[in-house]
């Protein structure tokens, strides 16, 4: 049995012929006609659409990371609350068992309730959050202070740390020894009273510092020592929640599952994402909604590719006839123009991804587009993520495939014979 090298060489030539001709049509130096110009515009249109997808998705990633970093400064890794009721009994809770778990770095009892705040006759409804000193160690509040210092006790005297929004609304001055912050809390179990003053427990506390994290926190929270909050709420063993910080090397999911197994179904054990589940879902939904909108715009832009391919087919009818007359099959002719279409898509796709990635890199490292002074960050945050680039590449490629189908499907023996 002999091997026919000539037959093999011929098949290789036939296989490579469509790609070679398509490349000549796209990059022809001798015939810079209208068709070539339209092909160039098609590449640019695909590149711009792809670039927009890269930049916008990276901006959404950056915004999400910024929000997460801000929440990290206040939220614990794991928060335990009762499924029913606002509080639960700390004396019957498996505190010591949880503290001994591998991976648990800090364990903090928390008491939380809405209260009326008053400072120099200005009033405000806020949330008093009683915490232990370890709360300050396990959060990033020390990096979020705008005035004063981060401390809950000074010479065993309780101190308050208030959000920037509350401080602005009440006009609070840090370390104002003559005008403490007054907190009014409704008395528990009180049914009726003639004197309104008898309906509230009132305690005064000086402000040691002001923090600014994110508007939702800044307009809501006043941090006080746990014992101060318990006295205010007339709690003995009752607490609102337990907040836990996990060690840097620990696996958060594993620790969370261990805690769930210990505390049982009567308690909710939520990680950082689950504590703000609705917000994160909204952010993800917005991101992919914008992705779909930009993809739709990209679909419209690919009409340029369809028009370009149609014009190339019309312009090259003579070439098609010659190829047909020398024995080229319809499938070979169709592959020529399919390759042409995919080269336009591929060039635009890769160019858009590369340029978009460069723009995101420059923005991420040099902050080219600045924000105003009132924002928590100096420049628009971006985060370039590899999975997004894969989604974009696949999406643009699929759109290119669909855009090439209609013009190519019209090539037939009938159209060739007519030409």
**C-alpha to C-alpha distance for 98 and 244, rounded to whole angstroms:** 9
Model confidence band, residue 406 (pLDDT cutoffs 50, 70, 90):
confident
| Residue 418 CA: distances (Å) to CA of 149, 321, 334, 351 | 86, 9, 17, 39
- Regarding whether 184 and 93 lie in a shared domain, the answer is yes
Which of residues 244, 274, 304 is at a domain's end? 274
The answer to whether residue 408 is domain-embedded is yes
- Regarding whether 87 and 51 lie in a shared domain, the answer is no
Reduce the DSSP state of residue 415 to 3 states and report it.
Answer: helix
How many separate domains does the chain show?
2
Q: Which tokens in the block code for residue 411?
A: 């090539």
- Regarding whether 42 and 132 lie in a shared domain, the answer is no
Q: Which helix (H) or strand (E) holds 123?
A: strand 122-131
- Regarding whether 302 and 216 lie in a shared domain, the answer is no
- Regarding whether 173 and 149 lie in a shared domain, the answer is yes
Contact 14, 312 (CB under 8 A): no
DSSP state of 91: G
pLDDT surpasses 80 at 31: no
Q: Which tokens in the block code for residue 194?
A: 């003639």
pLDDT surpasses 70 at 15: no
Which of residues 233, 259, 274 is at a domain's end? 274
pLDDT surpasses 90 at 180: yes
- Regarding whether 379 and 255 lie in a shared domain, the answer is no
Whole-structure pTM value: 0.74
**C-alpha to C-alpha distance for 47 and 392, rounded to whole angstroms:** 11
Residue among 220, 371, 271, 279 nearest 67 (CA): 279
The answer to whether residue 11 is domain-embedded is no
Q: Please report the pLDDT score of residue 157 as a whole number.
A: 92
- Regarding whether 193 and 99 lie in a shared domain, the answer is yes
- Regarding whether 85 and 49 lie in a shared domain, the answer is no
**C-alpha to C-alpha distance for 330 and 416, rounded to whole angstroms:** 9
Averaged pLDDT, 377-383: 86
pLDDT, tens only, 41-89: 888 888 998 999 999 999 989 988 888 888 888 889 999 999 998 999 9
Q: Please report the pLDDT score of residue 7 as a whole number.
A: 44
**C-alpha to C-alpha distance for 152 and 300, rounded to whole angstroms:** 59
Contacts of 235 (CB under 8 A, 6+ apart): 87, 111, 229
pLDDT surpasses 90 at 299: no
The residue range of the domain holding 127 is 76-274
DSSP-derived pairing of the beta strands 88-89 and 181-186: unpaired
The answer to whether residue 200 is domain-embedded is yes
Q: Mind giving me the DSSP string for 180-209? A: PEEEEEEPTT----SSGGGGEEEEEEEEEE
**C-alpha to C-alpha distance for 320 and 314, rounded to whole angstroms:** 10
Indicate the range of 26-35, 176-185, 388-397 predicted with least confidence: 26-35
- Regarding whether 321 and 366 lie in a shared domain, the answer is yes
Q: Please report the pLDDT score of residue 288 as a whole number.
A: 86
The answer to whether residue 13 is domain-embedded is no
| Residue 60 CA: distances (Å) to CA of 63, 69, 286, 371, 385 | 5, 14, 9, 15, 11
Q: Which helix (H) or strand (E) holds 361?
A: helix 330-366
Model confidence band, residue 193 (pLDDT cutoffs 50, 70, 90):
low
CB-facing half-sphere around the CA of 262: CA atoms within 13 A: 18
pLDDT, tens only, 213-245: 888 899 999 999 999 999 999 998 999 999 999
The answer to whether residue 10 is domain-embedded is no
pLDDT, tens only, 96-120: 999 999 999 999 999 999 999 999 9
- Regarding whether 38 and 173 lie in a shared domain, the answer is no
Cα angle value 209/211/217 (rounded, 5°) = 135
pLDDT, tens only, 124-148: 999 999 999 999 998 888 888 999 9
Which of residues 210, 245, 274 is at a domain's end? 274
Q: Please report the pLDDT score of residue 192 as a whole number.
A: 64
- Regarding whether 52 and 151 lie in a shared domain, the answer is no
Residue 133: phi and psi, rounded to 5, are -60, -30
pLDDT above 70 covers a percentage of the chain that reads 80
- Regarding whether 97 and 240 lie in a shared domain, the answer is yes
């Amino acid at each position: 049995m002999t091997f026919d090298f000539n037959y093999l060489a011929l098949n290789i030539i036939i296989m490579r012929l469509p790609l070679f001709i398509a490349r000549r049509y796209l990059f022809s130096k001798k015939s810079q006609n209208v068709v070539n110009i339209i092909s160039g515009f098609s590449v640019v249109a695909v590149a711009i659409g792809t670039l927009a997808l890269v930049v916008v998705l990276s901006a959404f990633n950056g915004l999400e990371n910024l929000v997460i970093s801000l929440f990290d400064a206040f939220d614990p890794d794991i928060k335990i609350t009762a499924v029913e009721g606002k509080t639960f009994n700390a004396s019957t809770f498996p505190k010591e068992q949880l503290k001994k778990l591998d991976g648990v770095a800090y364990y903090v009892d928390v008491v939380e309730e809405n209260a009326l705040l008053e400072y120099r006759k200005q009033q405000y409804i806020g949330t008093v959050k009683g915490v232990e000193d370890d709360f300050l160690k396990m959060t990033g509040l020390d990096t979020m202070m705008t005035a004063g210092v981060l401390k809950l006790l000074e010479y065993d005297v309780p101190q308050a740390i208030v959000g920037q929004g509350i401080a602005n609304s009440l006009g609070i001055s840090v370390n104002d020894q003559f005008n403490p912050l007054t907190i009014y809390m409704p008395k528990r179990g009180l049914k009726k009273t003639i004197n309104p003053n008898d309906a509230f427990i009132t305690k005064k506390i000086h402000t040691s510092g002001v923090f600014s994290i994110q508007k939702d926190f800044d307009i809501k929270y006043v941090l006080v020592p746990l014992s101060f909050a318990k006295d205010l709420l007339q709690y003995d063993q009752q607490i609102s929640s337990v907040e836990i910080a996990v060690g840097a090397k620990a696996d958060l999911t594993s620790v969370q599952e261990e805690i769930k197994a210990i505390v049982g179904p009567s308690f909710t054990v939520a990680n950082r994402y689950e504590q703000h589940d609705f917000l994160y879902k909204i952010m993800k939904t917005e991101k992919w909604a914008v992705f779909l909108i930009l993809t739709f715009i990209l679909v419209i832009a690919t009409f340029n590719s369809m028009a370009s391919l149609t014009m190339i087919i019309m312009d090259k009818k003579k070439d098609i006839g010659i190829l047909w007359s020398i024995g080229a099959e319809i499938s070979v002719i169709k592959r020529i123009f399919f390759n042409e279409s995919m080269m336009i898509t591929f060039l635009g796709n890769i160019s858009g991804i590369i340029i978009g990635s460069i723009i995101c890199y420059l923005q991420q490292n040099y902050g080219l587009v600045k924000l105003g002074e009132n924002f928590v960050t100096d420049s628009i945050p971006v985060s370039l993520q590899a999975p997004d680039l894969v989604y974009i590449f696949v999406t643009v490629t699929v759109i290119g495939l669909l855009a090439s189908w209609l013009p190519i499907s019209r090539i037939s023996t009938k159209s060739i014979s007519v030409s």
